[in-house]
Amino acid sequence: MLELLMSAAAAHGEAAEHADPSAFGLDPTGWVALAMIAVFALLVWKKAPGAVGKALDSRIAEIRAQLDQAKTLRAEAEALKKEYEAKAAAADGEAAARVERAKAESTAIVAKAGQDAEALVERRSRMAEDKIAAEERAAIDEVRAIAARAATAAAARLIAERSDAASDAKLVDQAISGLSS
């Protein structure tokens, strides 16, 4: 495309070459190089590389301090982790011991409840047997009383049927003579 433009310019009679501006014998590229050399010289004169080095060194020191702090924090975190793991293991052991104690206590409670139930059943059995024996004695006493009343009534009836005034006098005389002897 550049060739096309140059051929068009040549066709119109213009000069094919273009002159670059220059000052003091330097073209623009030379001036840019000179400006860069001046900037680098100014930076060296103002000790910019040392300042940059110091800034980098301080940043490196900050990063090292942060890394040391991170190592310290990590060590503390690991110590805390170990401590809590130990506490968790101790808590697990204590929980297992509590479960075993609870099992032993429940077994003892069940055994005691069984013994208490057996003792209660035995006491109640004795009380029932005592009550039955008392009822039997009361029934026997009642039967005896009924039998005695029946015998007395029968004897009274027999005596009333068989006795008269003469036999009564004879019985009284015998009773008196039995008392005096």
Confidence (pLDDT) at 94: 94
| pTM of the predicted model as reported, rounded to 2 decimal places | 0.37
Confidence (pLDDT) at 47: 77
Domain boundaries, the chain: 25-122
Under DSSP, is residue 1 helix (H, G, I), strand (E, B) or coil?
coil
Tokens 């003892």: give the residue: 108
- Tokens representing residue 136 in the block: 């039997």
pLDDT tens track, the chain, 181 positions: 556 555 655 555 554 466 677 777 788 888 899 899 998 888 777 777 777 788 888 999 999 999 999 999 999 999 999 999 999 999 999 999 999 999 999 999 999 999 999 999 999 999 999 999 999 999 999 999 999 888 888 888 887 777 777 777 787 888 888 887 6
Which distant-in-sequence residues (6+ apart) come within 8 Å of 163 by Cβ?
171
Closest of 52, 137, 16, 40 to residue 7, by C-alpha: 16
Closest of 151, 133, 132, 131 to residue 143, by C-alpha: 151
Tell me the sheet residues that pair with 26: 23
Q: Rounded to an integer, what is the distance from CA 118 to the centroid of its chain?
A: 38
- Tokens representing residue 32 in the block: 């840019």
| DSSP tag of 12 | T
Which distant-in-sequence residues (6+ apart) come within 8 Å of 27 by Cβ?
20, 21
